[in-house]
Structure 1
């Protein structure tokens, strides 16, 4: 289960790797409080290695599956010279805030202005992220001076009208609202590109289909890592006996050659132990018989 979770197979959004950071944090807290043993630590390391392999060798987390990130992805793929573009985000509800954080995290631009009907919310988020804010009554002026406008107001009536942008240069408008909050006729104006939430959802659905196709690859990688972990677990059961054998060999060696020069005796003993471990792994049933015999010998 933990292998599947860390791969993003059980996430609400297929392929979402946010859970990996939560697993790492949980293990960190557990170690700080001495609440994690060798078994769990080894398993978590195997889980994280599996997750990393899946991320590097499959497209399970590729593309975008949220509307807010789809908007940012659209901007990255279709707009040039972003460093010199003015971006305006109108509305900072849940979708607006997510979009804002994605803009900051994934675009090489800080010239972002926030507007909200409640000015205090816009100014607070702007201060938190190092952006600018403007009062709602300056909406038209800000729309006219922006190159890229994202609208997430979810108002009953359009927030951005055709008259606001007519004759004010080329603009990309992305309407994240339902119902639409950019007047539909705006798309007919020269130099205006209007993308709505339905078009962004098509990009999201296409990505999700691609991710689902990657699930069998991820499951095969998980199966390999689980097998490796279980092999380690089976061998771990023999560690106490192997350790006891090593101590016994050292005692026999020291007793028999007490006055002889010590020439790499630790290396020889370790080789014996390594050979025993390999034999036990290759012949697990017979290995159990060896363990019983050794226990009788060293008891």
Structure 2
């Protein structure tokens, strides 16, 4: 099927929402899970979109790629999520061309993160692009751009202090527990969902709070058991979730399910507790926050937990931007040279075509003489001049520019002043 847009930079777009303009509840409407991601890429190909990837985290959902217009990405997101198109048009940001490229650099290096310098985002970009490539939906431009962003992210981490110190959603959860739960070492803690965020939060609790009374629950029991054994913790089967969370003093939810797994009925008649929902979309029913004996905290509230580390990171921003500028310039130079290479090859092919046609005509004469070969060369040269002259005559407004370029390319030595 013919693609309706070219792979020019002007047709490279990003459409997305993030924490700056939308709360976690709205972001949850447009979050893309792995199954939806695959379906989105499959649907994209049916509407002639074959070079894109989707970044969906707790703080943002963004589509990067080539399209005739950003509106096509709006349609893709609404096709696969519970979100409303009119709402998305109001809240989404769109960027195109070099502005979109710079945005990916800023996202990948943590400059656009809810917690400045968040280094986890680069792994999420890597995985998102890798999945798109495995589905045949990542072209050479996007792959090279992502690789450049990965390189820049690594450089900024090693050459600046932008990601120095311990600041992340997982760490913010620990700081929040420290403030909200007196005598945390003596409390019963339950973690629902032993994915990356859940594991990181648990490690931080052990290291910074010295807790030991932690019970892990996961849909796949083996995952919970392996992590529990490794860190000397308890674990319980998913079927025991309700009684376990009812007995907890602190409940951490990182189950990453498409809908709430902890319901208000689960906690209606229980002891007082702090519930921290680390999931997007929310995995704790909103009504839980209305229970007087429950303090419900979500990822947006966690982002407000500040640390002196963040102030130090702010001072590193100019250094990070300078590194981005340098490598973005290198990427754009590669892109322009690639375009030139394509043009030069096309010119070479055109000249070869003229050459072969003239040679074939000469072969029809049966005999070859030196003067015949000179005539062939003369005709080839004249046809090249005719092609250039024809273009100059046709594009009268650009004729001076074309002649100047030809003069420079062939280094004629003619002074046009």
1:70 to 165, 172, 196: 172
Per-residue deviation, 1:86: 0.2
2:283 to 168, 181, 184: 181
Q: Aligned partners of 1:74, 1:155: CA distance in 2, in Å?
A: 23
Q: Aligned partners of 1:210, 1:76: CA distance in 2, in Å?
A: 21
Q: Does 1:124 align with 2:203?
A: no
Corresponding position of 1:195: 297
Unaligned 5+ residue runs, structure 1? 1-10, 17-53, 219-299
Per-residue deviation, 1:166: 1.0
Instruction: Give 3-state SS (helix, strand or coil) of 1:178's partner.
Output: coil
Corresponding position of 1:146: 248
1:89 to 180, 185, 191: 191
Q: Which has the higher helix share?
A: 1
TM-score normalised to structure 2 length = 0.37
- Which has the higher relative contact order, 1 or 2, with Cα contacts under 8 A spaced 6 or more apart? 1
Q: Contact conserved, 1:15 with 1:211, CA < 8 A, in 2?
A: no
Q: Contact conserved, 1:14 with 1:208, CA < 8 A, in 2?
A: no
Q: Does 1:212 align with 2:345?
A: no
2:268 to 163, 166, 171: 166
Distance 1:14-1:154 versus aligned 2 partners, 3 A rule:
closer
Q: Aligned partners of 2:241, 2:118: CA distance in 1, in Å?
A: 38
Summarize the alignment of residues 1-299 of structure 1 with structure 2, pairs less than 5 Å apart. Answer: 14=117, 61=164, 64-203=166-305, 210-215=311-316
Distance 1:112-1:209 versus aligned 2 partners, 3 A rule:
closer
Per-residue deviation, 1:163: 0.7
TM-score normalised to structure 1 length = 0.50
Q: Contact conserved, 1:175 with 1:181, CA < 8 A, in 2?
A: yes
Q: Aligned partners of 2:178, 2:205: CA distance in 1, in Å?
A: 10
Per-residue deviation, 1:212: 3.4
Instruction: Give 3-state SS (helix, strand or coil) of 1:95's partner.
Output: helix
Distance 1:81-1:209 versus aligned 2 partners, 3 A rule:
closer
Q: Contact conserved, 1:174 with 1:196, CA < 8 A, in 2?
A: yes
Q: Contact conserved, 2:164 with 2:313, CA < 8 A, in 1?
A: no
Equivalent pairs, count? 169
Instruction: Give 3-state SS (helix, strand or coil) of 1:153's partner.
Output: coil
Corresponding position of 1:5: none
Distance 1:90-1:70 versus aligned 2 partners, 3 A rule:
same
Distance 1:60-1:178 versus aligned 2 partners, 3 A rule:
closer
